[in-house]
Amino acid sequence: MRALMVVMLAAASMDVAAADPSEAKIDQLMSAAAKPAAARPAEPKAAKAKANEPDSATSLVGQRVAVTTRSNGLYLGTLTSVTRDALVLAIELPSRNLSYSVPRSSVASISPR
């Protein structure tokens, strides 16, 4: 019986190892999406300390900027305000002018355009 269980466990682990990494990632993301949203983790101390430092983004307020995000995203617009939590861009869309807020935690870089 023990040998049978060992063989079954080995087979199961081989199956997991053989799965495509992208497929495994999708499974994880699907499971995460199915679970209720977890409480937001506390902001790291380093980030808190950084928040107290002078903000270079404030110097770009009023300018047209390109904001790149940590997920390789890109947003273009006029920087209208900078807060501790977000950068606010004014983006001109075909049908309206949008005030778009980019969370500071997801910003990778900001540069004038």
Which residues contact other proteins (rule: CB under 8 A)?
19-20, 22-23, 25-27, 29-30, 33-34, 66, 69, 71-76, 91-96, 98, 100, 113
Can you tell me which residue has the tokens 């081989």?
14
- Rounded to a whole number of angstroms, the minimum distance from the CB of residue 89 to other proteins is 9
Q: What is the DSSP letter of 19?
A: S
Q: Give dist(CA 88, CA 103) in Å, integer.
A: 9
Provide, rounded to whole angstroms, the least separation between the CB of residue 49 and other proteins.
28
Give the side-chain half-sphere CA count within 13 A for 20.
Answer: 3
* Cβ nearer to other proteins, comparing 5 with 93: 93
What is Dmax (Cα atoms) for the chain? 73
Least distance (Å) between residue 86 CB and other proteins: 14
| Residue 39 C-beta-side C-alpha neighbours within 13 Å | 3
Nearer to other proteins, 82 or 102 (CB): 102
The residue among 43 and 92 lying less far from other proteins, judged by its C-beta, is: 92
Q: How far is the CB of 2 from other proteins (least distance, A)?
A: 30
Q: Which two tokens stand for residue 73?
A: 């995203």
